């Protein structure tokens, strides 16, 4: 039997029940549209939330951990070597905060092909002297060029210019929350006292806003040289080495590898942000679950419509089988009806879903907490369209399979005798 004839019969049956066919196609279209638009929007939000943390977080961070000395005198005593010793209130030892031989470590990391870039940093705890009170804060001395290249630092500078840290002596970019608490304007000179007792005058050259208020209330940025001056240390003083990798998945293994090689503490991004990644996965799971539920619901609609069509077209099915069409041919006719509905409805749904995403992407979204975001974020990843297209065909095929199987088993003699 020629497939062209079966396709023509399927088309005629669809036109004979045009309203029901249209309703089924609209159901598929709506489901696919909402599936694509919902996934694009939800994953766009996820990417935005991830970027607030991950864009400013190194894949691997090397530093000297301040902790109590594990080698206590009683543990070295031969007299008490066989005893279980319990020591309370152990204080951290006076270990250096700076990374020893940091220049050689940075050079070694830069020569590794797996490494995208390296950015040194100096962390300093300070008190901002405002009138008669002191406000606690944290100053990060950074290599401005490396921070801009690896962590898009300039994107979070909402006022002023990040390059002013290099060009201005003792310049500082204040966290927006810290600036508001001190009523500091760009061009003002503020005073800060380090934990070591050094007092410096700093000129405000900009504001920084990450979107995380807890950080913006205390965190500010200067150049490496200014931070080293604040803590009273030489130019070789580095407290952190931040590494960005070509592949995020390499972070855990490389952190262990280089921690053993350098003999210092190393934190990888996946371990530090494990809870954050779990939240992202759950949000993605919810998005897919809602979208697939819409497709399954539309599949039940197609199933019901084809079932009704079979009951109403029993005479037609009997005539087809009486004139030589086999049960397989009848099965294929109704399967083609389902696939045509899925193909047409799914294609239109993908187009409308893309247009809906474009519309959402142009809606203004302005908030002081997220100054770098101007419109609602939407992710136009082709994966969502491929999944939507495959599911539209799969659900409509499954919705048509059982009615088509029932139609193929109709006995024409019983139908004609009943008439």
Q: Can you give the residue range of the structural domain that contains 296?
A: 3-54+276-418
Token pair of 296, please?
Answer: 């399954």
Distance CA 143, CA 163 (A): 10
DSSP sequence for 125-189: EEEEEETTEEEEEEEEEE-HHHHHHHH-GGGGEEEE-TTHHHHSTTEEEEEHHHHHHHTPPTT-E
91: in domain = no
CA distances from 309 to 30, 259, 296, 332 (A): 22, 69, 20, 15
| pLDDT tens digits for range 59-82 | 899 988 766 666 666 667 777 667
Are 129 and 35 in a shared domain?
A: no
Predicted confidence at residue 335, as pLDDT, reads 80
Predicted confidence at residue 221, as pLDDT, reads 92
Are 298 and 250 in a shared domain?
A: no
Residuewise pLDDT in 10s, the chain (419 residues): 466 777 777 787 777 777 777 887 888 888 888 888 888 888 888 777 777 667 778 889 998 876 666 666 666 777 766 777 777 766 665 556 788 888 899 999 999 999 999 999 998 888 888 877 888 888 999 988 888 888 888 888 888 888 888 888 889 999 888 888 888 889 888 888 888 788 889 999 999 887 777 778 888 999 999 998 888 888 888 999 999 998 888 888 999 999 888 888 888 887 777 666 666 677 778 877 877 777 777 677 767 776 776 666 666 777 777 777 777 777 788 788 888 888 888 899 899 999 998 998 888 877 666 666 778 888 888 888 888 888 888 877 887 777 777 767 766 666 555 55
Helix (H, G, I), strand (E, B) or coil at 81: coil
Would the CA dihedral through 222, 225, 227, 230 be positive or negative?
A: negative
Are 50 and 64 in a shared domain?
A: no
Domain boundary among 211, 238, 268: 268
Are 102 and 130 in a shared domain?
A: yes
Are 368 and 280 in a shared domain?
A: yes
Closest CA to 333 of 6, 21, 4: 6
Distance CA 259, CA 44 (A): 35
Predicted confidence at residue 18, as pLDDT, reads 77
DSSP sequence for 324-337: T--HHHHHHHHHHH
Are 109 and 200 in a shared domain?
A: yes
Give exposure, 312-351, as e/b (b: 16+ Cβ within 10 Å). Answer: ebbebbbebbeeebeeebbbbbbbbbbbbbbbbbbebbbe
| CA angle (154 as vertex; 148, 159 as ends), nearest 5 | 160
280: in domain = yes
3-state SS of the chain: helix, strand, coil percent to 5?
Answer: 55, 20, 25
Are 14 and 159 in a shared domain?
A: no
Burial group, residue 158, by CB count within 10 angstroms (0-12, 13-18, 19+): middle
Question: What H or E segment, with its residue span, contains residue 366?
Answer: none
93: in domain = no
146: in domain = yes
Question: What H or E segment, with its residue span, contains residue 313?
Answer: none
Burial group, residue 405, by CB count within 10 angstroms (0-12, 13-18, 19+): middle
Distance CA 341, CA 297 (A): 15
Are 287 and 402 in a shared domain?
A: yes
Strands (E), 209-318: 219-223, 240-245, 265-268
Are 110 and 223 in a shared domain?
A: yes
Domain boundary among 222, 250, 268: 268
43: in domain = yes
Are 64 and 105 in a shared domain?
A: yes
Predicted confidence at residue 348, as pLDDT, reads 92
Let me know: does 194 contact 233? Beta carbons within 8 Å.
no
- Residue 311 CB coordination number (10 Å): 11
Let me know: does 314 contact 410? Beta carbons within 8 Å.
yes
Domain boundary among 240, 268, 296: 268
Closest CA to 330 of 260, 239, 400, 258: 400
């Amino acid at each position: 039997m020629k497939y062209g004839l079966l396709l023509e019969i399927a088309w005629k049956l669809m036109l004979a029940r045009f309203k029901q066919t249209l309703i089924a196609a609209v159901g598929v279209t709506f489901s696919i549209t909402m599936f694509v638009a919902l996934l694009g929007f939800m994953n766009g939000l996820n990417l935005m939330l991830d970027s607030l943390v991950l864009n400013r977080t190194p894949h691997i961070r090397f530093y000297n951990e301040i902790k109590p000395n594990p080698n206590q005198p009683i543990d070295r005593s031969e007299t008490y070597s066989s005893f279980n010793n319990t020591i309370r209130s152990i204080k951290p030892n006076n270990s250096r905060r700076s990374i020893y031989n940091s220049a050689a470590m940075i050079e070694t990391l830069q020569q590794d092909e797996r490494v995208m870039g390296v950015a040194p940093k100096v962390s300093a705890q300070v008190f901002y002297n405002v009138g008669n009170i002191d406000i606690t804060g944290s100053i990060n001395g950074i290599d401005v060029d490396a921070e801009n290249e690896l962590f898009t630092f300039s994107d979070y500078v909402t006022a002023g210019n990040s390059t002013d840290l290099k060009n201005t002596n003792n310049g500082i970019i204040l966290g927006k929350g810290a600036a508001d608490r001190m009523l500091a304007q760009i061009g003002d000179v503020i005073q800060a006292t380090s934990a070591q007792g050094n007092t410096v005058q700093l000129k405000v050259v900009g504001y920084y806003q990450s979107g995380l208020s807890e950080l913006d209330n205390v965190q500010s940025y200067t150049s490496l040289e200014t931070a080293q001056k604040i803590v009273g240390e030489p130019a070789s003083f580095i407290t952190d080495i931040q590494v960005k990798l070509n592949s995020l998945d390499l972070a855990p293994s490389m952190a262990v590898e280089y921690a053993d090689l350098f003999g210092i503490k190393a934190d990888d991004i996946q371990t530090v942000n494990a809870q954050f990644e779990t939240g992202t996965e759950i949000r993605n799971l919810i998005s897919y679950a809602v979208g697939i539920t819409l497709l399954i619901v539309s599949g039940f609609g197609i199933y019901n419509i084809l079932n009704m069509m079979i009951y109403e077209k029993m005479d037609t099915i009997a005539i087809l089988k009486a004139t030589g069409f086999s049960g397989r041919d009848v099965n294929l006719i109704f399967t083609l009806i389902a696939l045509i509905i899925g193909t047409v409805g799914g294609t239109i749904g993908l187009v409308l879903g893309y247009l809906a995403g474009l519309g959402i992407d142009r809606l203004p979204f302005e908030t002081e907490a997220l100054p770098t975001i101007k419109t609602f974020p939407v992710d136009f990843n082709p994966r969502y369209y491929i999944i939507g297209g495959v599911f539209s065909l799969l659900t409509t095929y499954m919705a048509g399979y059982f009615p088509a199987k029932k139609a193929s088993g109709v006995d024409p003699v019983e139908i004609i005798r009943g008439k």
